A and B are shown apart, each in its own frame.
Chain A
Amino acid sequence: DARVTQTPRDKVTEMGQEVTMRCQPILGHNTVFWYRQTMMQGLELLAYFRNRAPLDDSGMPKDRFSAEMPDATLATLKIQPSEPRDSAVYFCASAPGGGGPTDTQYFGPGTRLTVL
């Protein structure tokens, strides 16, 4: 049963600390998305990659957030320094790519981040 995995599932940290979230997309999927979910804003896109190259990171605060794909099986989202307003659930999603009708996005279980 192929699925997107994310670690850690929960993270509590203090303001100013660095946070790294990891995502393993479904094997063979070439498009990876990072979304953030809050009560106020709902689900918002932060960034996404195709074939490991960043395509759109306009939703990400550039001064503190960075997203990378070191290889095809790992995507990372880093926040440095973290702030209380970064508290949210961060989801990774992957899609097969190719532009075909089956290009469905599959979501991971999320990382719940709390910044004190």
Chain B
Amino acid sequence: GENVEQHPSTLSVQEGDSAVIKCTYSDSASNYFPWYKQELGKGPQLIIDIRSNVGEKKDQRIAVTLNKTAKHFSLHITETQPEDSAVYFCAARRQAGTALIFGKGTTLSVSS
């Protein structure tokens, strides 16, 4: 089955710096890769996703890149702000309507 590895497990940056979180997946049939942000005491919230027919997607300060050949995808946050501090999860899925396989999460801390 699918296995998703996520690095790093913790990341500390200064406000205004960029943050990059990387994930690799094992199942070449996976075709959908969402990123979720989880704040303390809340459920994961989708922040951006990418499908396998696209190499890059951007939404304001957040971007995701996908390398299908290498089976890895990354989350890029630019101009980080303290409110970006949270746990970020990557995930992969083979088919719409099936379960997501999650990475173990990255705790991002942005200090001002």
> A residues touching B (Cβ–Cβ < 8 Å)?
4, 31, 33, 42-45, 48, 50, 56, 91, 93, 95, 97-101, 103-110
Choose the segment among B16-24, B63-71, B78-86, B101-109 that binds chain A (4+ C-beta atoms closer than 8 Å). Answer: B101-109
- Chain A residues near B96 (CB, 8 Å)? 98-101, 103
- Chain A residues near B89 (CB, 8 Å)? 42-43
Q: How far apart sit A55 and B100, CA to CA, in the bound complex (Å)? A: 14
Given contacts A104-B49, A106-B46, contact A99 B95 (CB under 8 A): yes
**Contact check: which of B43, B46, B103 meets A42 at CB < 8 Å?**
B103
- Most chain B CB inside 10 Å of its own CB: which residue of A91, A100, A103: A103
Q: How far apart sit A4 and B42, CA to CA, in the bound complex (Å)? A: 12
Are B99 and A43 in touch, CB under 8 angstroms? Answer: no
- Chain B residues near A48 (CB, 8 Å)? 98-99
Is B72 part of the binding interface, using a Cβ–Cβ cutoff of 8 Å?
Answer: no
Interface of B is mostly: loop
Q: How far apart sit A42 and B34, CA to CA, in the bound complex (Å)? A: 16
Are A109 and B99 in touch, CB under 8 angstroms? Answer: no
Q: List 22 A-B contacts (CB under 8 A).
A: A4-B43, A33-B99, A42-B89, A42-B102, A43-B89, A43-B102, A45-B100, A45-B101, A48-B98, A50-B97, A56-B98, A91-B44, A95-B97, A97-B97, A98-B96, A98-B97, A99-B96, A99-B97, A101-B51, A103-B96, A107-B45, A110-B43
- Chain B residues near A97 (CB, 8 Å)? 97
Given contacts A42-B103, A43-B89, contact A31 B97 (CB under 8 A): yes
- Chain B residues near A105 (CB, 8 Å)? 34, 46, 100
Are B34 and A104 in touch, CB under 8 angstroms? Answer: yes
A47 CB, min distance to chain B CBs, angstroms: 9
Are B46 and A104 in touch, CB under 8 angstroms? Answer: yes
Those 8 A-B pairs whose CB atoms lie nearest each other, nearest first: A107-B43, A103-B96, A43-B102, A99-B96, A45-B99, A42-B104, A107-B44, A109-B43
- Chain B residues near A101 (CB, 8 Å)? 51, 96
